[in-house]
Amino acid sequence: MYRVLATSQTPALVLYLLDVSASMDRAMGDKTRLQVALEALREALSAMLFRSTKGMQISPRYLVGIYAYSNGVIDVLEGVRPIDQVAPIVDQRLRLIHTQQGTETAQAFYQAAQILKQWLPRLYSSPAPLIAHLTDGEYTGADPEPLARMLRQLRVADGYVLMQNIYISESFARVVQHPQRWTGIQSDTPLPDPYAQKLRAMSSLIPDTYLQYLREFMHANLKDGSYMLFPGHTPEFIRFGFQMSAATGMQNIGG
């Protein structure tokens, strides 16, 4: 499983769910958490665009949806769009994102479920879709874990939907090294707080083909059996997490 390449005939679907609650205004260096996250997202989208470009031709190898959530869910791109349509508008659309008060994570996951139910029949021969969720704190409202488990049961021929979580928490600073030295989070890894443990339960395991790609092309040191739960306590880790999401459909490097 997880070997289908992203092409214009078999595009890879990536849905980004971004927590824009008020705490995302907290400082991370000389920027806010939200500013750092949006810059990392731009870099990931630029990587997708680069991989989709040959000469002057951009191939729609990726389908992208971006959903910012707080009290409710904002459809940033106004629908799922191919990467060639995302590139001209993404900067303008991301500048419209601002923080609010709540953290209605379950609403964002419900939105992802509706999108997947709409798109999965058309993407049955494509790479398994990936949901990249970034948050910096525990949810308000309904528990998102049942929805996360349901999303991970949806599948295409390539495999089950993949769920990635990037968790911005200072508690990681005591136990996590530089991204290229970090060995990942496994089932027996001690985690710093209960919400990190919950996010691990909501995350997919990184498929072997993805691990191979990450080790060879991103110089990662992730162990087998690592979960798609990434620390986000530094800009470097946030970029690392989002770049993994941009590797969707690129993981078959053996031939």
- The domains found in the chain, sorted by start residue, are 12-246 (3.40.50.410)
- Res 175: pLDDT: 66
pLDDT at 251 over 80: no
Contacting residues for 78 by C-beta, under 8 A, at least 6 apart: none
pLDDT at 185 over 70: yes
pLDDT at 54 over 90: no
- Res 164: pLDDT: 98
pLDDT at 255 over 60: no
- State pTM to two decimals: 0.95
Rounded to an integer, the average pLDDT of 32-40 is 96
pLDDT at 181 over 50: yes
Of these ranges, 24-28, 188-192, 243-247, the one predicted with the greatest mean pLDDT is: 24-28
pLDDT at 148 over 60: yes
pLDDT at 85 over 60: yes
